[in-house]
Amino acid sequence: MSDEWGFAPPPFKPDEALQRLRRDLREAGLTEREGVFERRGTPIARLAVDGAVIKAETVKRPSRSSPEWQARALKSGADLRDYVVELKKKLASWSDSDD
């Protein structure tokens, strides 16, 4: 998978990428508890390595009772960066009343 410049991106290592993603979510103000990232006790995201990809699930809207999850497969460093940017935008748009 080389591009016009003649080099390929580095191989995606899901275990290493998961550690980076977990750090990014903590820096965004989320707390990890039993594999679920929360904001003030409300589930926001779940992460898991699934083969060669990271399965990232994010809630549509914060809900303590029954959150509706949206799944996304992260297969590259670019996918990882895009996911973090989108999640930060969602966190900024959700007000305290959404929790």
β-partners of residue 55 are 48, 73
Cβ 68 vs Cβ 60: under 8 Å: yes
pLDDT of residue 26: 96
Q: Which one, of 20, 10, 13, 8, lies nearest residue 81 by Cα?
A: 20
**Residue bearing tokens 């996918």:** 79
pLDDT in tens, 17-51: 999 999 999 999 999 998 899 999 999 999 999 99
